[in-house]
Structure 1
Amino acid sequence: MIDTPTRPAEGTAAASGAAYVDIMLVDDHAIVRQGLSSILQREPDLRVVAEASSPRQAMAEVERTRPDIVLMDLKLSASSDSEGIDLCAELTRAHPGVGVLVLTTFLDDQLVLRAIRAGARGYVVKDVDTSALIRAIRDVSRGESAFDARSAAAMVRGLNAPAVEESARLTQREEEVLVLLAHGLSNRDIGRELFVSETTAKFHVGNILRKLGVASRAEAVYQGGKLGLIR
Structure 2
Amino acid sequence: MNRADGSVAPRGDRLSSEVRIVLVDDHAIVRQGLRSILERERDLAVVGEASTASEALAVVQRTMPTVVLLDLKLSTGNDHEGLALCAELTKQHPDLGVLVLTTFLDGKLVVDAIHNGARGYVVKDVDTTELIRSIRAVARKESAFDSRSAAAMVHSINTQAEVALTEREQGVLVLLAHGMSNKDIGGRMYISETTVKFHVRNIMRKLGASSRAEAVYEASKLGMI
What's the CA shift string for 1:147-176, capped at 9, x where partnerless? Answer: 000000011011111347523321349xxx
Higher relative CO (Cα under 8 Å, sequence separation at least 6) belongs to: 1
Worse overlay, 158-167 or 126-135:
158-167
Residue in structure 1 matched with residue 131 of structure 2 by the alignment: 133
Aligned sequence identity (%): 55
Aligned to 2:97: 99
- 2:147 aligned residue: 149
2:69 is the alignment partner of 1:62: no
Post-superposition Cα deviations, 1:24-81, rounded to whole Å, max 9, x if no partner, equal 0000000000000000010000000000000000000000000000001001110111
Distance 2:217 2:164 in 1: 6
Structure 1 residues 71 and 209, CA, compared in 2 at 3 Å: closer, same or farther? farther
Distance 2:66 2:22 in 1: 8
Alignment of 1:149-228 (within 5 A): 149-162=147-160, 163=163, 165=165, 166=170, 167-168=172-173, 169-172=176-179, 210-213=215-218, 223=223, 227=225
SS at match of 2:21: strand
Residue identity in the other structure for 1:53: S
Q: Hey, what's the Cα distance between the residues in 1 that align with 2:214 and 2:27? A: 29
Instruction: Quickly say closer, same or farther: Cα 1:112–1:209, change in 2 above 3 A.
Output: farther
Structure 1 contact 164–213 (Cα < 8 Å) conserved: no
SS at match of 2:177: coil
- Give the aligned partner of residue 29 of structure 2: 31
Report the alpha carbon displacement of residue 209 of structure 1 after superposing the two structures with TM: 6.5
In the alignment, the residues of structure 1 paired with residue 215 and residue 76 of structure 2 have an alpha-carbon distance, to the nearest angstrom, of 25
Report the AA paired with residue 101 of structure 1. L
Name the larger-Rg structure.
2
Q: How many pairs were matched up? A: 178
Mapped to 1, the partners of 2:34 and 2:60 lie a distance apart of 18
**Normalised TM-score (structure 1):** 0.70
1:208 CA drift (Å): 6.0
**Partner residue in 2 for 1:185:** none
Quote the residue 1:46 is aligned against: 44
Structure 1: runs of 5+ lacking an equivalent: 8-16, 174-205
| CA displacement 1:107-160 (0-9 Å, x = unmatched) | 111000000010100000000000000000001111110000000001101111
Instruction: Read off the aligned partner of 1:211 and give its amino acid letter.
Output: V
Change (3 A) 1:207 1:30: farther
Q: Is the 8 A contact 1:164 1:212 kept in 2?
A: no
**One-letter identity of the residue aligned with 2:52:** S
